[in-house]
């Protein structure tokens, strides 16, 4: 999405570009807020005593900082480099990159529909960003399952165009998780009971779940999907179905997560 016109809020993480360095601090333009200027005081550049500011920051550097203070009347924003950790920095940079890519993809969609980018944002981009949390997440959803995306959003011309651009430019995220079932049944019909239990596991979602023979009484359950949380849920449901089936038949079983 394009740069926002409003100022950030106190506590926000922002992406900026260092434009000027002085002995007392550094001036930064905010990439996500129409290049509005912000300031990082020397005391907020790094933990501990900073002897030479250029040992920590340089002109042209892309940085992630935390907003300390915002004066809306003066349009002044004060930032801190030292009040974020590496994990927060990586996450923010990745989110910013995703936003940049989503904006470029939306431009392609708009061009295909013979619309201006701003028009596409108003017509469907802003609503998608709200529904999926971010516009990039909407593109990911359309890439992962174009048919489902089109079914959910109807027959408008932009829906097919959006799904097409998503499918052509994004590789759907893919996760694979697994665990091991150990199931036994000493009864006369035990083999059939085990087979039924394994079938119950796969029946939870035949397209995403595969049960592999490791060596009796051990069987590997493999679940594939586009979202980790969804895959974990399927693995849980599949193993519970298998264990319930074997126990109801008089056998017993356990599950261990790989």
Pick the CATH number of 87-169 from 2.40.37.10, 2.40.33.10, 1.10.10.10, 1.10.150.190: 1.10.150.190
Residue 153 has pLDDT above 80, yes or no: yes
SS3 208: coil
Q: What is the pLDDT of residues 73-108, one digit of tens each?
A: 999 999 999 999 999 999 999 999 999 999 999 999
Residue 236 has pLDDT above 90, yes or no: yes
Residue 227 has pLDDT above 90, yes or no: no
Helical H segments across the chain, by residue range: 86-112, 117-120, 126-132, 135-144, 146-153, 157-169, 190-203, 228-248
The second-level CATH assignment, the architecture, of 175-257 is 2-Layer Sandwich (3.30)
Whole-number pLDDT of residue 230: 84
List the beta strands (DSSP E) in the chain: 13-22, 25-30, 36-41, 62-71, 76-80, 175-184, 209-215, 218-225, 252-257
Whole-number pLDDT of residue 30: 97
Helices (H) and strands (E) in the chain, counts: 8, 9
Whole-number pLDDT of residue 5: 61
Whole-number pLDDT of residue 42: 96
Q: Where are the domains of the chain?
A: 13-84, 87-169, 175-257
Q: What is the pLDDT of residues 49-73, one digit of tens each?
A: 999 999 999 999 999 999 999 999 9
Whole-number pLDDT of residue 184: 95
Output the pTM of the full model.
0.66
Whole-number pLDDT of residue 88: 95
Mean pLDDT of 164-181: 89
Whole-number pLDDT of residue 3: 59
Residue 2 has pLDDT above 60, yes or no: no
Residue 194 has pLDDT above 60, yes or no: yes
Whole-number pLDDT of residue 53: 96
Residue 249 has pLDDT above 90, yes or no: yes
Whole-number pLDDT of residue 225: 84
Q: Do domains 87-169 and 175-257 have the same CATH topology?
A: no
Domain 13-84: assigned CATH number: 2.40.50.140
Q: What is the pLDDT of residues 116-131, one digit of tens each?
A: 999 999 999 999 999 9
């Amino acid at each position: 999405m394009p740069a926002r016109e409003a100022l950030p809020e106190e506590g926000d993480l922002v992406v900026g570009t260092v434009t000027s360095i002085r002995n007392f601090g550094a001036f930064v333009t905010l990439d996500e807020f129409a290049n509005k200027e912000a300031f990082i005081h020397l005391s907020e550049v790094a933990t501990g005593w900073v002897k030479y500011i250029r040992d920590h920051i340089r002109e042209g550097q892309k940085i992630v900082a935390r907003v300390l203070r915002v004066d809306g009347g003066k349009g002044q924003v004060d930032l801190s480099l030292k009040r974020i950790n590496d994990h927060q920095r990586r996450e923010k940079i990745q989110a910013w990159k995703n936003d940049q890519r989503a904006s470029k993809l939306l431009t392609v969609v708009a061009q295909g529909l013979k619309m201006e980018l701003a028009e596409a944002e108003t017509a469907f981009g802003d609503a998608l960003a709200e529904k999926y949390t971010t516009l990039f997440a909407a593109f990911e959803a359309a890439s992962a399952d174009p048919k489902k995306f089109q079914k959910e959003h109807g027959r408008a011309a932009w829906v097919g165009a959006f799904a097409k651009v998503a499918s052509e430019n994004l590789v759907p995220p893919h996760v694979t998780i697994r665990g091991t079932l150990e199931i036994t049944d000493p009864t006369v019909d035990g083999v059939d009971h085990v087979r039924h239990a394994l079938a119950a596991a796969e029946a939870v979602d035949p397209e995403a779940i595969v049960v592999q023979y490791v060596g009796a009484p051990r069987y590997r359950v493999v679940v594939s999907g586009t979202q980790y949380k969804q895959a974990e849920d399927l693995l849980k449901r599949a193993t519970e179905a298998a264990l319930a089936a074997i126990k109801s038949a008089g056998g017993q079983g356990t599950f261990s997560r790989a």
